[in-house]
Amino acid sequence: MDLQLTGSRVLVTGGTRGIGRAIVEAFVAEGAEVEFCARSADVCVSTAASLGPSATGTAVDVGDGPALTAWVGAAAERLGGIDAVVSNVSALAIPESEENWRSSFEVDLMGTVRLATAALPHLTQSLGSIVAISSVSGREIDFAAGPYGVMKAAIVHYVQGLAHQLAATGVRANTVSPGNTYFEGGVWNQIEGGQPELYASSLALNPTGRMGTPEEMAAAVVFLSSPVSSFTTGTNLVVDGALTRGVQL
């Protein structure tokens, strides 16, 4: 299927590892021009070099509102506009503490709000797309209940509200909620080594017998961002291998 993304101008936060990097790679493979950010300048440079001339990385702390807004503006100027943005960064602040509540709010939730707000003038011109990464932890209570799960649920609420507000403008807004996603150096790779009982019990919950891959999550994001998905807005696409049991009405 041709996703009609050749020449599209895309911004991705957190594009150097895991799901974020897979999203950048998938957009590049579809012919898009991608600007991504992460906190480490060196990693941004090395990632962009490995992905080729269609990907550009910039060091940005998504929890820094002015810095994130400035990056969106500069990227839009370099690209000549924006067709899609993907809010992917998470503080991954799971344990309960005031510091984790603050960082989850600033990075996960406000990072999404600020990205969408800064990009909206450009997306209105291009009839573009907003996709935010939530989580199955935003749908049901699991070991990540607390700052992480609450902010992931808030992202779904925010984006669905945004979809209704923007529908008449032609700008679409959706979320993707990944299930447990395994990759080298990722959270579940670390849990496998440090908390083997939690890893085994979590793996056993999935009827597919495995965890997802970053590439499987990225495919959902790229589809929702594409013109092929032009009538899909206000949805939360759960990609979890039937992990969650709740009925999404």
Cite the active site residues.
134-135, 148, 152
What ranges make up the beta strands (E) of 7-166?
Answer: 9-13, 33-38, 55-59, 84-87, 129-133
Angstrom distance (rounded) from CA 173 to CA 23: 17
182 and 209 Cβ atoms separated by less than 8 Å = no
Largest CA distance in the chain: 50
Euclidean distance between the first and final Cα of the chain, in Å?
Answer: 28
Q: Which two tokens stand for residue 18?
A: 């895991």
Angstrom distance (rounded) from CA 70 to CA 168: 27
115 sits in which H/E element = helix 110-126
Q: What is the DSSP string of 35-90?
A: EEEES-HHHHHHHHHHH-TTEEEEE--TT-HHHHHHHHHHHHHHHTS-SEEEE---
Q: How many residues does the chain have?
A: 249
174 sits in which H/E element = strand 172-178
Backbone angles phi, psi at 56, to 5 degrees: -130, 130
